[in-house]
Structure 1
Amino acid sequence: MEPAPKTVEGWLYEGRKPQRAFRPVIVEMLGHSIEQLWTEVPDDDTEPPFVPLAGTSPAEPHVGSGMDLNEMKRTGAMAVRRAKDFLLGADRERVGEDTLGLLDDEVQRLVIEYPRVPLSAIWPDLLETQDQVFRLLEGGRVRPSQLRDLNVKAALLSFLVAKGFNDMEVPHEAMTMTRVAAACAREAEHPGLIALTDGLKSLIAYWADRPADAYHYADQGAATAANLHGTVGLWLLGLKARAAAVLGDEETVRTANRQASDRREHVVLDDLDQLGGLFIYAPEKQLYYEVESRALLGHGDEPLSSTAEEAVAGFSDPTAPNWAFGDLAGTQCDLALVRLYSGDLDGAADAIRPVLDLPPSHRNNGIIVSATRVKHALTSGPARTAVIARDLRAEIEAFPTSRPALPRG
């Protein structure tokens, strides 16, 4: 991305700070934080006593006098990709352990990064790795002892690709890819993965505003996962509660949330939980789902508001292992809803502000739908005519308009 001349003029002459897309580039180029760079120059013309950030140096952008560091990284990445292709094609008669180890590493990386980075940052690698696994399965050179492992990888990768289509608001393609993931899970005879694909079908239907379908798939998956001890069964109960809330079934919401809470005490983490990312239903995510199911019913009392604040706090640390920018935005939208229902318009505006400040690359389908719910809530109640409500509605309406599904290329 290259800033327009007007944007640069705004930085230099009008005091405007760069948006998130440009901040890390400027910090890397100049070796100081944005806050330091946008500090007023002292009147006595002395240089501010700022210490350059570690790992950056405006005086040494090159390694010695040779190749630029960024160019070294780029050409190095090309070499790694070429080596991967060599390894994947080297065992023409059989699939070697090094090949499986390479795929293990890549699957684990993609699983961990998916909820933490924009989809555009990993989408090419995700599609390529899925294709590599499919080609190995189709090639007929897989030993029986390797077949289950490769089908598990194919199911995991197809799950992530399906989630990507859902984030891009392409529900038909998302559902098709989920069925591929389910077929691979059945080939692997992995009950947890089979239940997980039912959960993804429910999730896709939920964000596509098909709550009856979302409820059906969640209920079906919950039955499959009834005797499993990992967190997938709890996720399906959370999905069931959210779908029931959209349908106005308050009794089912209470029952499903209570069952999930009771089962949390008896969880034994399984192989899916050990992967992390989208494959573990962590306590903070369970709290997020519970708050959302109650907010969708229109509740806004003080205890729920406190719980919603706790859910936001659960995703406040980006370094935490279970942090996800989408879950953080979801909890912030839910907090805004709860505060609106309690009549706290200013508090609702404060809650959703970080969501509206997200760069376009992070505005996936779920975040946009969550923000739109807040916009709809602003049209009812005594606060609907307030100036702040009108301004907030207008800002939310403009929120998705510049969202790219994926950058060109």
Structure 2
Amino acid sequence: MLAEGEPNGALAELSALLRHVIASKGTNNSELARRTSYRRQQIAEAVNGHNVPSEGLAKKLDEALDADGQVIALRDQADRERKARRLNLLLPRTEAAQDVETADLRLMPALGRRVDAAGLALPIPQVAGDRAAASDPDPVTATGGAEMTARKASEHATDAAGCSLPDLTIDQLDDDLRHLAAQYGAITLPNAYQQAQALLDVAQRSLERTKAPRQLSRLYLLAGEAAALCGSACFDLSLLRPAAQFARTAALYGQTIEFGPLQAFAHGTLAYIAYWQRRPAEGVRHALAAAEAPGVGTVGRRRIAAIAGRAWAHLGETSQARAAMAEAEALTDSSEHDDLHDIDGEFGMTIERMLMSNAATALLLGDAEAACTYAQAALDQYSALPAEQRPPMFVAQAQADLANARLACGDADGAAAALDAVLTLPVSWRGTGVIQRVNSIRLRLVTPAFAQAQALRGYGDAIEDWAAMVPAQADLIRPVAPMTES
């Protein structure tokens, strides 16, 4: 009997193949990690049969081990089996079938037995020694039962084949989501939420219109991406409870299809929602959960490290916060990839956005000079981009951090110059992050050190007027153009 959690089917064959080839070539997981640019943990999970490796990892392993496509073929078969089991499309094995080793299954065609397309043996009445011995059932009963089963199977297959969507419909949804994620910082916050909500609705309705496993897997991912974008927009609009609900929804979609990057992104969002709500310990827990998600590339790990740094700083753990900041800075070589964070935009974490985040973390740690350095570096990076590629809200956040850091350093004139740039931000981009930063500046202005500063006179009232003008939540319920479906 297979132990619970033990790999079987094509996944077991893939594990056996990898172990055999690795041993025969005298290499190891660490060496393969170096040659493939994947993490050792990902290699070990594939070799031990704990997870179906990604297509990219399978291709790299096949090349590194000179496997002539065997790794890729077994990986694809294991992926099909995993999706089919999740949708209950595979027949359960009988005890006898489960007792037969993989080598015995390969002998079955020669013994006149049938093996289905997924590599699963049909029920075997008895097993004798190392061979599967067929019994001699009553031919009339067996024939009638087989015909009835075949007829039902045919009807089920016909129904399933007729319940699918045009691939172009899903391709369009994928393209729309990628475009929204990439342009997130360039469109107004209410508009971003409306578009994400509409795309989530399309994805969820599309899930009800198909039974094709491949399409279901794609649509669960797209629904998760749309939910994640809804969560980001709700956070920026100061709707923190819905933001957390959308993030949890995205995490559950990622869990459904066992896609680590989506789970990592969702836990990262839950982390910063938690520390914004003054629950830093919960924020740290979510950041650590995000870091443990499998299959996350360099950009995703940079995002996780930046968020973790802020969570640790809110918790008052200086050493852990600085370590996370350093890790985020070190992750500049995009040698590892994943299919979510590499979309970039809201799903990514650019160098300039990471520097901006580290500036805010440095302020929490009371390191004003480091905050100035990080904020100015972020603004320099943004300035190097074409004007249309500079996200207004993120640039304003960096300017606000610079103003706050300059105040902490006693530079009233420099703070006023940076604050002037922030106060020109249009209402539709005044999200939670920049509003909280500006309010923090307002609190610093009333301290004795700056209350009488000539350069800052009048800024307190200006900030109060500015912060009172935020995106109207009523904008979120205005109708949007319907999304196309086929």
TM-score in same-fold range (> 0.5) = yes
Contact 1:317 1:323 in 2 (8 A): no
Contact 1:372 1:396 in 2 (8 A): yes
The aligned runs of 1:345-364 (5 Å cut-off) are 345-364=412-431
The aligned runs of 1:6-45 (5 Å cut-off) are none
- What do the CA deviations read for 1:216-245 (whole angstroms, capped 9, x no partner)? 2112212335x7333212211111111222
Contact 1:315 1:327 in 2 (8 A): no
SS at match of 2:368: coil
Partner residue in 2 for 1:288: 356
- What do the CA deviations read for 1:320-364 (whole angstroms, capped 9, x no partner)? 796422221111111111111110011111112121111211111
Task: Measure, in 2, the Cα distance between the counterparts of 1:174 and 1:194.
Answer: 15
Contact 2:403 2:441 in 1 (8 A): yes
**Cα distance 1:379–1:213, how it changes in 2: closer, same or farther (>3 A)?**
farther
The match for 1:341 among 381, 384, 408 is: 408
The match for 2:265 among 163, 173, 196 is: 196
**Cα distance 1:212–1:374, how it changes in 2: closer, same or farther (>3 A)?**
farther
Question: Which consecutive unaligned segments of at least 5 residues does structure 2 have?
Answer: 1-160, 479-486
Partner residue in 1 for 2:321: 253
For the pair shown, the structure with the greater C-alpha radius of gyration is: 2
Q: Does 1:127 align with 2:194?
A: no
Contact 2:302 2:331 in 1 (8 A): yes
Task: Measure, in 2, the Cα distance between the counterparts of 1:170 and 1:92.
Answer: 41
Contact 1:318 1:324 in 2 (8 A): no
Task: Measure, in 2, the Cα distance between the counterparts of 1:328 and 1:274.
Answer: 21
SS at match of 2:458: helix
**Cα distance 1:147–1:234, how it changes in 2: closer, same or farther (>3 A)?**
same
Residue 169 of structure 1 and its aligned partner are, at CA, apart by 0.9
- What do the CA deviations read for 1:364-401 (whole angstroms, capped 9, x no partner)? 11110111111122233522332444521221122121
Partner residue in 1 for 2:392: 325
Task: Measure, in 1, the Cα distance between the counterparts of 2:261 and 2:389.
Answer: 20
Task: Say how many residue pairs are matched.
Answer: 316
Task: Measure, in 1, the Cα distance between the counterparts of 2:335 and 2:434.
Answer: 29
- What do the CA deviations read for 1:247-276 (whole angstroms, capped 9, x no partner)? 332211211112223343464232223311
**Cα distance 1:322–1:293, how it changes in 2: closer, same or farther (>3 A)?**
farther
SS at match of 1:271: coil
The aligned runs of 1:112-123 (5 Å cut-off) are 112-123=182-193
**Cα distance 1:252–1:390, how it changes in 2: closer, same or farther (>3 A)?**
farther
Task: Measure, in 1, the Cα distance between the counterparts of 2:389 and 2:221.
Answer: 22
Which amino acid in the other structure matches residue 110 of structure 1? L
Question: Which consecutive unaligned segments of at least 5 residues does structure 1 have?
Answer: 1-90
Partner residue in 2 for 1:51: none
Task: Measure, in 1, the Cα distance between the counterparts of 2:388 and 2:348.
Answer: 11
- What do the CA deviations read for 1:106-125 (whole angstroms, capped 9, x no partner)? 11121122121112234333
Q: Does 1:272 align with 2:340?
A: yes
Task: Measure, in 2, the Cα distance between the counterparts of 1:330 and 1:170.
Answer: 19
SS at match of 2:298: coil
**Cα distance 1:357–1:379, how it changes in 2: closer, same or farther (>3 A)?**
same
The match for 1:103 among 168, 173, 178 is: 173
Which amino acid in the other structure matches residue 332 of structure 2? R
The match for 2:255 among 146, 161, 186 is: 186
